[in-house]
Amino acid sequence: MAIVWVRRDVKSWSGTETTTTDTFKRDYLVLTDDIDDGPETVLAADDLPALYTAYSDGNDSNANTVITNREPRRDTNAPLLWHVSITYTVLVDESGEGGAGDIESVLPQIRMWFVNYTTPTQKDKNGDPIDNSAGELFDPAVQMDDCHLAIEIVRNELTPPFQKAQQFQNCLNKDAVWGVQPGLLKMMNIGGTRKIQRNVIYWEVKYEVHYKKDGWEAELLDQGFLRNAGANGEPISQAEDKQGTVWMLDKRGLPCAKPQLLDGAGNKLEGAAAVPVFLAFDLYPSEAFAPLQLPNILL
């Protein structure tokens, strides 16, 4: 129960051209090794073109014409040999009306909305730490309602969005777009749906871009159980003097049981009036959005 080989039948190749469509036909020869192998086994052959494969054979190619029918039939003189007739035709939309026109000239659809969520915060509306009367940050952090703008663009394109999706997914804008400075827009999703309008195959491509006015950096409180130290474990003032890290100790000389605030340079934050330090981290890569030629959403 196996396919021995698949070959094109050089004697069987034809085509038809009309005012509304093109049709091409090509036969393949498939040899099996079992008399009980039937059409299902033959159609599953790896080297046999699958349904919806675009026409490309020898020096011929037609991207708008795809396989719509595969018909296997057993050779009456050689039962292990099958002839598979493959038909390529142009797919049309359900209405079957009108020509394609300029697919890409159709006005893009633009939709905007706000994404709402709850997020922990250790800063108030002015950017000041949210702490108690003794200057200690609350743990767990205060939960606040937040939101950011989402923008969806849907437009027709003649090429599938696969490569663009791989390149731009989760990337920030490296260039200014729609008057927005770099680093504030994030490409959340690029996807598409293949469609047919009369004799043209095209893609309805959807771009989803999110905007955060404060950017997409992650801000984390600078705290931990270790601090930078010199050769003998002493505190240091210069980063180049760092020889390692040591555990921060409590008044009993024991390792601290909870994280201690750091000063942004790896040292313990000292003083009752000291302001907690937050560290910013870049999480996402950047790409120039200009090659995408996104439409102006401000019109």
DSSP one-letter string for 164-207: HHHHHTTPEESS-BTTBPTTSEEEEEEEEEEEEETTEEEEEEEE
Q: Rounded CA gap, 176 and 171, in Å? A: 14
Domain that holds residue 50: 3-90
What residues contact residue 286 under an 8 Å CB cut-off, 6+ apart?
171, 172, 173, 174, 182, 183
Question: Which residue among 90, 122, 145 closes a domain?
Answer: 90
In single-letter form, the type of residue at position 114 comes to F
Which DSSP string do the residues of 3-40 spell out, in sequence order?
EEEEEEEEEEEEEEE-SS-EEEEEEEEEEES-TT--HH
Tell me what the pLDDT averaged over the chain comes to.
87
User: What pLDDT does residue 94 have?
Assistant: 45
Same domain, 288 and 150: yes
How crowded is residue 14: how many other Cβ atoms within 10 Å of its Cβ? 9
* Shared-domain flag, residues 69 and 109: no
Are residues 108 and 33 both part of a single domain? no
| Radius of gyration (C-alpha) of the chain in whole angstroms | 32
Buried b (16+ CB within 10 A) or exposed e, 87-122: ebbbbeeeeeeeeeeebeeeeeebeeeeeeeeeeeb
Residue 288 lies in a domain: yes
- C-alpha distance from residue 79 to each of 28, 29, 44 (Å): 15, 12, 18
Are 208 and 120 in the same domain?
A: yes
Last residue of a domain, which of 90, 120, 151? 90
Q: Is the dihedral of CA 236, 238, 240, 245 positive or negative?
A: positive
pLDDT at 23 over 50: yes
265-279 pLDDT, tens digit each:
888 888 766 788 889
Q: Are residues 287 and 167 in the same domain?
A: yes
The pLDDT of residue 105 is above 80: no
Q: Which pLDDT does position 126 carry in this prediction?
A: 86
Residue 50 sits in the same domain as residue 166: no
Q: How many domains does the chain have?
A: 2
The reply to whether 133 and 212 lie within a common domain is yes
- Mean per-residue pLDDT for 111-134? 87
pLDDT of residue 100: 46
Contact 235, 249 (CB under 8 A): no
* Contact criterion met (CB below 8 Å) for 6 and 47: yes
Q: Which of helix, strand or coil describes residue 103?
A: helix
In a domain, 182, yes or no: yes
195 Cβ contact list (under 8 Å, min separation 6): 93, 201, 202, 203, 204
Which of 136-140, 155-159, 182-186, 255-259 shows the lowest per-residue confidence on average (mean pLDDT)? 136-140
Are 85 and 10 within one domain?
A: yes
Regarding whether 288 and 175 lie in a shared domain, the answer is yes
Q: Please report whether residue 223 resides in a domain.
A: no
Burial class (CB in 10 A: 0-12, 13-18, 19+), 192: buried
Which tens digit of pLDDT belongs to each residue from 39-87?
999 998 989 998 878 899 889 988 778 888 999 999 999 999 999 999 9
Cβ distance 155 to 134 under 8 Å? Answer: no
Given a contact cutoff of 8 angstroms between Cβ atoms, the answer to whether 187 and 171 are in contact is: yes
Residues 288, 145: one domain? yes
Last residue of a domain, one of 45, 68, 90: 90
Yes or no: say if 110 and 152 are a contact pair by the CB < 8 Å rule: yes
